[in-house]
Structure 1
Amino acid sequence: MRTLSETVAWREQLRREGRRVVLTNGVFDLLHTGHLYYLKRARELGDVLVIALNADTSVRALKGPSRPVQDELQRAYALGALACIDGIVIFREPRLTAEIRALRPDVYCKAGDYTLEKLNPEERGALQEVGARIEFLPFLPGFSTTNLIARIKAAGEI
């Protein structure tokens, strides 16, 4: 895991080497098969995959007071153990706009529940500003953190 300024310096080195950087973002709480499928596919879109990980405060705002199940450092550690991920930066603002402008990714990737119209207009504008190609990858059906939490709760009641 790196700070944003460390990640920007690393990104500039990658640019000089001619390497394509893919950026994606998310909560990635309780990694499951759907996450792993998505992250491996995202990595195939470039030479380096950088994850912008939602900070705990933004996860609570997005998903409610009981989330995240794992704190940001635990989630970053789990993601960092995956061979398909090259870098992680935690972002604390509600939007990823500053990180997009700073990192200037070659490719920005989101899961299939997003469309160009569903992307936040500010973030979409920043992506267009830096010339990032926007890719949407399909979901692997049947996997979600919400469903996993429900299954864990049900298993605890057996």
Structure 2
Amino acid sequence: MNTRGALLGMETSFWFIPMDKVVAFRQFLEARSIVVTNGCFDLFHFGHLTLLREAKKLGDFLWVGINGDQSVKELKGAERPYFSEWERATIVGSFKYVDAVTIFPEARATTFLSLVRPVIYVKGADYSSQTIHQEEKEVLERCQSLIKFVPLYPGRSTSGIVERIRKGAQSAD
């Protein structure tokens, strides 16, 4: 069975919303305080978990956008992603903090954000209002979304973890 088939056959506690259903699902949630975050989530680690936990505290419904496989290659390089978009969506969606997951095909979440129109948009504190992608920022401003930056868990990034593995690190700090 392919990964998507495995996902669709699993019992899940989150909603998987395809891009072509985002507008209808957003209408269904009209009265909810929707919080959105997005990313590749290619090698899930404690920093990702911290981001999801903190994002969930900011509203009633946490909707996570996941970069599709091709966009991860564009952003991170030919050797990525390490896990397929369906595996990444299932992993992210399995956490109690996450209410819905959408896979978007573009390198930037611009279309996804314009359709979801979050009340609050969350990124890690490795971003700032100056470094967040400007097209995404413009969409969020048009939607009147509040942009929040949550503290990072120190020393955790996918790139850093991969580098330590490549160097043969024997222990975690």
Give yes or no for TM over 0.5: yes
Q: Partner of 1:8: helix, strand, or coil?
A: helix
Q: Aligned residue for 1:144? A: 157
Q: Partner of 2:29: helix, strand, or coil?
A: helix
Q: Aligned residue for 1:99? A: 112
The CA RMSD over aligned residues, in Å, is 1.5
> Taking structure 1 as the reference length, what is the TM-score of the superposition?
0.91
Q: Aligned residue for 1:73? A: 86
CA apart distance, 1:8: 2.3
CA apart distance, 1:155: 5.6
Which of these residues, 45, 64, 68, is aligned with residue 58 of structure 2? Answer: 45
Determine the C-alpha separation between the residues in 2 that align with 1:116 and 1:93. Answer: 21
Determine the C-alpha separation between the residues in 1 that align with 2:20 and 2:33. Answer: 19
> Taking structure 2 as the reference length, what is the TM-score of the superposition?
0.84
Write the deviation string for residues 111-146 of structure 1: whole angstroms up to 9, x where unpaired.
101111112221111101111011011111011112
Unaligned runs of 5+ in 2: 1-15
Unaligned runs of 5+ in 1: none
Write the deviation string for residues 60-113 of structure 1: whole angstroms up to 9, x where unpaired.
111111111111111011111111011111111122221111111101111101
Determine the C-alpha separation between the residues in 2 that align with 1:149 and 1:84. Answer: 26
Q: How many residues align?
A: 154
Determine the C-alpha separation between the residues in 2 that align with 1:151 and 1:119. Answer: 27
Q: Do structure 1's residue 61 and structure 2's residue 61 form an aligned pair?
A: no
Percent identical across equivalent pairs? 39
CA contact (8 A) 2:114 2:143 kept: yes
